[in-house]
Amino acid sequence: MEYTHLGRTGLSVSPLCLGTMNFGPETSEDDAHAIMDAALDRGINFFDTANVYGWRQGEGVTEQIIGRWFAKGGQRRDKTVIATKVYGSMSDWPNDTFLSARNIRRACDASLRRLQTDHIDLYQMHHVDRNTPWEEIWQAMDLLVQQGKVLYVGSSNFAGWHIAQAQEAAKARHFLGLVSEQSLYNLSARTVELEVVPACEAYGMGLIPWSPLASGLLGGILRKEQQGRSASDRVQERLAGCRDQIERYESLCDELGEQPADVGLAWLVRQPVVTAPIIGPRTMEQLDGAMRALEITLDDKAIQRLDEIFPGPGGTAPEAYAW
């Protein structure tokens, strides 16, 4: 495994990030523990979760599963760079949501308890909070860093100008600010190339793409259809509007002799400022399959053909849409 740095930091992380959103609702605790053990064995040291994962309000089901895995010992916690998130509603009370200083501090302490650890390596804001000033957010995050509860701070689902706002406010406080952004990014969803990618590059932030296979759209969906396996209704609706693209994509993957899912991940890994796409295996087989992406080298011709199939926004803003 060749490790990379998380943005401009000295923190070394694997080029694939283990997403844990399925742990609990889709994957049993025993299977989740086995997948995390296997990920470490394969060199994946970067795990991503959130306080709302598990989808039972206030319980933090997925964090609890990870916490019980850490508690097994064997240097599991020491070997893992754990990232979690704050923002989502943890109760029906008004102050248990969003990014007020109160919620940031209380949510952090709750995540630490569930994760059975004394610090969070990367604490991410799950969404932007337009109603809380950056002075308040950074004051709360700064205190958590001083207390040793948080090492680095990241964002998720931010626009480029939100990143700029956050970084300039952090700079005024002489605070490190954001070190990463977690965005929707894959071959079929390239909007972030307009402004988010350039903002991350300008501020030395790592980009952590979520949904790298577009909820399965890029994972060999047509092949699975032929095998009698059907995707969710939502993905089927998306497929109806881009079947020609997906047919061309899977045909190219056949020519390359690679699985569509592996090609989609391999393309992301080589994109500028990308630190690690988030893979969300429900099974050990899916984990093993994702590792193949790190071995694939896409030549310039393959990249050109992928750009022809999934053209993206045409470059960065404003040149992509103005003279």
Condensed to tens digits (0 to 9), the pLDDT of residues 98-152 reads: 999 999 999 999 999 999 999 999 999 999 999 999 999 999 999 999 999 999 9
Whole-prediction pTM: 0.96
**Minimal CA–CA distance to 4: which of 84, 83, 75, 81?**
81
Q: Is residue 230, in this structure, part of any structural domain at all?
A: yes
Taking only the tens place, the pLDDT of each residue in 13-39 is 999 999 999 999 999 999 999 999 999
Percent of the chain with pLDDT over 90: 92
Q: Is residue 314, in this structure, part of any structural domain at all?
A: no
Taking only the tens place, the pLDDT of each residue in 188-224 is 999 999 999 999 999 999 999 999 999 999 999 998 8
pLDDT of residue 311: 96
User: What's the CA angle centered on 205, arms 204 and 211, to 5 degrees?
Assistant: 150
Residue 50's pLDDT band (cuts 50, 70, 90): very high
- Is residue 229 scored above 90 in pLDDT? no
Q: Is residue 320, in this structure, part of any structural domain at all?
A: no
pLDDT of residue 307: 97
Q: Is residue 323, in this structure, part of any structural domain at all?
A: no
- Is residue 231 scored above 80 in pLDDT? no
- At 125, is the secondary structure helix, strand, or coil? strand
Q: Is residue 315, in this structure, part of any structural domain at all?
A: no
The boundaries of the domain holding residue 142 are: 4-309
Question: Average pLDDT over the chain, rounded to whole?
Answer: 96
- Is residue 297 scored above 80 in pLDDT? yes
Query: What is the rounded end-to-end Cα distance, in angstroms, of the chain?
Result: 43
Maximum CA extent, the chain: 58
Residues 179/194, Cβ–Cβ less than 8 Å: no
Name beta bridge partners: 17. Answer: 278
Mean pLDDT throughout 267-283? 94
- Active-site residues, by number, are 53
Q: Is residue 318, in this structure, part of any structural domain at all?
A: no
Report the phi/psi class of residue 63: left, alpha or beta, with left for phi > 0 and alpha for psi in -120 to 50.
alpha
- Is residue 267 scored above 80 in pLDDT? yes
d(C-alpha 166, C-alpha 155), whole Å = 9
CATH number, domain of 74, equals 3.20.20.100
The answer for residues whose C-beta is within 8 angstroms of residue 183's C-beta and 6 or more apart is 156, 157, 158, 192, 196, 207, 208, 209, 210
pLDDT of residue 26: 92
Residue 282's pLDDT band (cuts 50, 70, 90): confident
Mean pLDDT throughout 162-184? 98
Q: Is residue 302, in this structure, part of any structural domain at all?
A: yes
Q: Is residue 321, in this structure, part of any structural domain at all?
A: no
Report the amino acid identity of residue 195: E
pLDDT of residue 236: 87
pLDDT of residue 224: 85
Task: Indicate the number of domains in the chain.
Answer: 1
Mean pLDDT throughout 168-184? 98
Mean pLDDT throughout 290-296? 94
